[in-house]
Amino acid sequence: MRAMRVHAPRKPLVLDEVPVPQPAAGQVRVKVLACGVCRTDLHIADGELTDCRYPVTPGHEIVGRVEAGGRRFAVGDRVGIPWLGWTCGECEYCASGRENLCVQARFTGYHLDGGFAEYALADERFCHALPEGYGDAEAAPLLCAGLIGYRSYAMAGEAKRLGLYGFGAAAHVLAQVARAQGREVYAFTRPGDAGAQAFAMRLGATWAGGSDETAPEQLDAAILFAPVGALVSQALKAVKPGGRVVCGGIHMSDIPSFPYALLWGERRVQSVANLTRSDGKAFLDLAATTPIRTEAITYPLERANEALGDLRDGRLEGAAVLVP
C-alpha cells in the first residue's frame, strides 16, 4: 500500500510502498477513507515533539471502513480513529478517569502508524462510531480539531464570552458549537488576516480581529490554538478576573515573561493534553445532534506535503483532509 511517511525531521514526507498491515488480536484494520491534517502532524514532521521514531506515518483524524479484525465492529462499519491510540489501564491516571495523562499512552500517527496511508491499524477499544450525516472528509476534522478542541472548550468553563486565538480547524468547529450553545465568540487571527476574520464572522463570531487588537468586551475565557507562547499574555489581558486561558495545543513556542498583574485576579492558565475515550464519545454525540459544518479542503494522499505547507502558512479556511 502507499503511505506518506516522515523519515527525518524537517524533511518532506516520502511516498513509500509498504506492506498492508495485519491486525493483531483486538485490532481492526481499516481502509482509510479520509484523514485530517492537524498541527500536531506538522510538529512531528518538524521534529518538535520528543519521543518520535522514524519512519512514521502521521495522521490521527482517520475515517476508515473496517476491513478485518476485532469484534467490536462489523466488517464494513465506518469508524473514527483519534490521537489516543492505547493506554495501560492501570496507572494512577488511567485508574482515575484521566487516561489522557497515562504515562504509557501511545498516540496514533506518533508512536503508532497513522492515517496518511491507504490502510491503518487501530486498537478497537479506542475507535469511535461516527455520526451519520457527515461525509468522510467532513467527519475527519471532528476527530482531533473537534475532539481535543472540545476538551479545551470544556476546560474553559461556562464562558459566555469566549475568545479563540488562531482561527483554524479547531476554532472553526468550536465556534459553531459555542454559537449553538448561545455563547459569543471573539476570534483572534494573525494580525491583518482579513480572510480568516471574515471566515470567523461567517461562522457566527461576534467580533474578529488580529491577536494584537483588543476585543470590544472583556472575555470570560480564551482558548489558544495558535502555537505562539506570546499569545498567553495577550489572552490574559483579554480575560476578566477569574477568567481562564486554555492552551489547546501539544507544542508552543516559549512563553515570554509577563507582569504578575496579568495573572492576578484569580486568572488561570491551563494546558489541555490529549483526550479520553469519554471526551470522544461526548463530542461525537454532540456532533450527531448539533449540525456542524466542517470545511474540509481535500488533497490526494500523495500531496500531503502541500497540505502541511498550506497549514503551516495559514492558507486554509477550515481543515486540510487527505483522501487516499
Binding site for Zn ion (CB under 5 A): 38, 40, 87-88, 91, 94, 102, 144
Q: 34 or 208, CB closer to Zn ion?
A: 34
Considering the complex, state which of residue 88 and residue 198 has its C-beta at the smaller distance from Zn ion.
88
Residue 89 CB, nearest distance to Zn ion (Å)? 6
Cβ at position 311, least distance to Zn ion in Å: 11
- C-beta of residue 267 within 8 angstroms of C-beta of residue 239: yes
Identity of the residue, 144 or 236, whose beta carbon is nearer to Zn ion in the bound complex: 144
- What is the closest distance, in whole angstroms, from the C-beta atom of residue 130 to Zn ion in the complex? 17
Nearer Cβ to Zn ion, position 39 or 183? Answer: 39
Task: Give the nearest distance from C-beta 54 to Zn ion in angstroms.
Answer: 19
Rounded Cα distance between 128 and 138, Å, is 15
Per the CB < 8 A criterion, the answer to whether 147 and 280 are in contact is yes
Longest dimension (CA), the chain: 58
CB of 75 to Zn ion, least distance (A): 28
Pairing mode of beta strands 62-68, 78-81: antiparallel
User: What is the sign, positive or negative, of the torsion defined by CA atoms of 59, 235, 184, 316?
Assistant: negative
Shortest spacing between CB 222 and Zn ion, in angstroms: 20
- Asked whether 79 and 64 are in contact (CB, 8 A), the reply is yes
How far is CA 150 from each of CA 14, 75, 155, 258, rounded to the nearest angstrom? 32, 30, 9, 28
Pairing state of beta strands 14-17 and 2-5?
antiparallel
Using CA atoms in the order 131, 69, 145, 55, what is the torsion angle rounded to 10 degrees?
Answer: -160
Instruction: Say if residues 263 and 269 touch (Cβ distance below 8 Å).
Output: yes
φ, ψ of residue 180 to 5 degrees: the values are: -60, -25
Report the residue number, 21 or 58, with the smaller CB distance to Zn ion.
Answer: 58
Nearer to Zn ion by C-beta: 23 or 36?
36
User: Min. distance of Cβ 230 from Zn ion in angstroms?
Assistant: 22
Nearer Cβ to Zn ion (144/162): 144
CA angle 114, 314, 239 (to 5 degrees): 100
Question: With respect to Zn ion, which residue has the nearer C-beta, 79 or 147?
Answer: 147
Q: Which three cell numbers stand for residue 320?
A: 486540510
Judged by DSSP in three states, 265 sits in coil
- Nearest-approach distance from CB 237 to Zn ion, in angstroms: 28
Q: What's the CA gap between 226 and 68, in Å, rounded?
A: 38
